[in-house]
Amino acid sequence: MSILGLDQSTHTGWAVGHPGGLPKWGVHHCRAKDSDHGEAYARYRAWLIDMFTEHGVTRVVFESPIQAGSPVTQRFQWGLHTVIEEVCSTFKLPCNEIHNATWFKYWVGSGRPSKIELKLGKYATESAWKKDMSLRQAANRGWLTDDHNIADALGIWDHACFLIDPSYRFRRGPEIRRRETKQERLFG
């Protein structure tokens, strides 16, 4: 079973692999500033088809569109959502939408920064905290990236692996479990 996890946006983070295996990851830039939405959706569709073929994808898990930003941004997000579901339907692949707060709490252990972190001014915004924490969690698992879109996709993928096979979390190896336990004590 090859799962594709998507953090879809104009810079879509993606992670793909088998539960218990080492995922592959990257980012897909799907919209040039001068392109219209229709052109971007067509390119996104072609990219998804290439991903399905190249990686033998058998399930797709993607983040629910966030209800924030301008109306144009929201419209674009919902369009990507529609393209993902349409392509999955065409290929008869199961696809699951997962709310940001659900996978993020699994991934980081908390959905919000502590009052102490906010008072100390370490992070200017909650969004900056979330990006940093997602990058830290990816690094704790040995999945090094400096792109928060990729780190988020890894979190979505990791959560999907756990939902499909709950024993997955305990088969990742003692070093990762030790890091997770330490991380939970520090930030949980």
- pTM recorded for the entire structure: 0.84
Inform me whether the pLDDT recorded for 137 exceeds 60.
yes
When pLDDT is averaged across residues 92-121 and rounded to a whole number, the result is 83
Of all residues in the chain, what percent carry a pLDDT higher than 70? Answer: 84
Question: Would you list the domain boundaries of the chain?
Answer: 3-187
Q: How far apart are CA 166 and CA 174, in angstroms?
A: 16
Domain 3-187 adopts which CATH fold?
Answer: Nucleotidyltransferase; domain 5 (3.30.420)
Inform me whether the pLDDT recorded for 5 exceeds 70.
yes
Taking only the tens place, the pLDDT of each residue in 61-81 is 999 987 777 788 788 889 999
CA quadruple 134, 154, 105, 126: dihedral sign: positive
Please give the full DSSP string across the chain, using - where no structure is assigned: --EEEEE-SSEEEEEEE-TTSPPEEEEEE---TT--HHHHHHHHHHHHHHHHHHHT--EEEEEPPPS-S-HHHHHHHHHHHHHHHHHHHHTT--EEEE-HHHHHHHHHS-SS--HHHHHHTS-SSHHHHHHHHHHHHHHHTT---S-HHHHHHHHHHHHHHHHH-GGGGGSS-HHHHHHHHHHHHHH-
Report whether 70 contacts 46 (CB < 8 A): no
Predicted confidence at residue 185, as pLDDT, reads 41
Predicted confidence at residue 91, as pLDDT, reads 96
